């Protein structure tokens, strides 16, 4: 699970054998979410991240 970025304490990572569409996994405090990057940025699932943390993660993906 290579880490792409750590921002605001949120870890952005991917698995080596991933599939399309392009996406990242994020984790913070033992909670995880998956965010698609193409064709548009959207949260695929959220397993416990607080709304504020998830918004920061999505915003980071937009930049």
pLDDT tens digits, one per residue of 25-54: 999 999 999 999 999 999 999 999 999 999
Query: E strands of the chain, at which residues?
Result: 3-7, 10-13, 23-28, 31-36, 42-47
pLDDT of residue 56: 97
CA distance 27 to 37: 16
**DSSP bridge pairs for 33:** 26, 46
User: Considering the chain, what is the average pLDDT of its residues?
Assistant: 96
Alpha carbon 46 to chain centroid, angstroms: 9
Q: Give the mean model confidence (pLDDT) for residues 9-35.
A: 96
- The structure's pTM equals 0.92
pLDDT of residue 5: 96
């Amino acid at each position: 699970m290579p880490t792409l970025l750590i921002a605001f304490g949120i870890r952005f990572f991917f698995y080596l054998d991933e599939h399309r569409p392009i996406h990242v996994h994020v984790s913070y405090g033992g909670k995880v979410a998956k965010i698609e990057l193409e064709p548009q940025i959207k949260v695929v699932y959220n397993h416990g991240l607080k709304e504020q943390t998830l918004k920061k993660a999505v915003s980071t993906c937009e930049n």
